[in-house]
Amino acid sequence: MDNTIRLQYLEAMGIDVWLPRTSLPTKQTLFSEVLIDDAELESKSSVIDDWNNLQIEVTSCKKCTLRTTASQTVFGSGNKQADWMLVGEAPGQQEDEQGIPFAGSSGALLTEMLRAIGLSRKDVFITNVLKCRPPDNRAPHVNESSSCINYLHRQQQLIRPKIIVTLGLIAAQSLLKTNEPLAKLRGKVHMFNDTPVIVTHHPAYLLQFLSKKHEAWLDLTHAIQTFKNNKG
């Protein structure tokens, strides 16, 4: 089927069509074929296919056994063209039930942390290293993180955020492929592919140790500065 017609069908059916931030077509360009050349259309289609394929791959993933115990996969939520990407560890019970990351009390704190720096959950993309809940909320096994991390790489490549903030030790160590403790990883700018990474505490840890909130605040201000430097 012609790609322009396909886009129009998808839109009419109310299906999410994810396009790169730099080339979102207006209705006028979608319906006026002369304004879209073949190369541009091909690149848009490949992005659409990548997002859709990625989500389908995640949903039907069998790389580890977690999909057999999880109720559903938790792909990520928010803005697929976001400048900010936040990465946690793995879905817990509420995320597993609702299909969205950080749906519980630690998620409420995360929303507050974002608000403190002038962002809402709609401005950012939030996901986890693992897309399936480990049973009984146990820590992810190494083979589970290493088979799932490729999905995170692909999400990062599609979103191309200006900054990534990792939440907690597991997310930081998985992204940065290190065994260093959080204390050594905080306060530095790391890289994940071509995106700067700032490491901070997990909101669940902050709910337990309220006195650490000031460290999280320092990390977020560091993230803002790093974001501004990377904005160009």
Class of residue 184 by CB neighbours under 10 A (exposed 0-12, middle 13-18, buried 19+)? exposed
CB of 87 to ligand URA, least distance (A): 8
CB of 113 to ligand URA, least distance (A): 13
What is the chain written as a DSSP string?
--HHHHHHHHHHTT------GGGPPPHHHHH-GGGS-HHHHHHHHHHHHHHHHHHHHHHT--SSTHHHHSSS----EE-TT-SEEEEES---HHHHHHSSSS-SHHHHHHHHHHHHTT--TTTEEEEES-SSPPGGGPPPPHHHHHHHHHHHHHHHHHH--SEEEEESHHHHHHHHT----HHHHTTS-EEETTEEEEEE--HHHHHH-GGGHHHHHHHHHHHHHHHHHHH-
CB of 92 to ligand URA, least distance (A): 5
Q: Which of the stretches 100-108, 189-197, 207-215, 219-227 binds ligand URA when contact is defined by CB under 6 A? A: 100-108
Closest CA to 109 of 97, 100, 121, 98: 121
| Count of residues engaged in binding ligand URA, rule: CB under 6 A | 11
Closer to ligand URA at the Cβ: 54 or 87? 87
Contact between 191 and 197 (Cβ < 8 Å):
yes
Closer to ligand URA at the Cβ: 83 or 95? 95
Closer to ligand URA at the Cβ: 66 or 90? 90
Closer to ligand URA at the Cβ: 36 or 86? 86
CB of 202 to ligand URA, least distance (A): 6
CB of 111 to ligand URA, least distance (A): 12
Residue 90, interface with ligand URA (CB under 6 A)?
yes
Q: Which of 25, 76, 78, 88: binder of ligand URA (CB under 6 A)?
A: 88
Residue 219, interface with ligand URA (CB under 6 A)?
no
Q: Which of 36, 48, 75, 89: binder of ligand URA (CB under 6 A)?
A: 89
Q: Which of 92, 134, 140, 161: binder of ligand URA (CB under 6 A)?
A: 92
Residues in region 101-160 near ligand URA by CB under 6 A: 101-102, 106, 128
**Which residue is closest to ligand URA by CB?**
88
Give the residues lining the site for ligand URA (CB under 6 A).
Answer: 88-92, 95, 101-102, 106, 128, 204
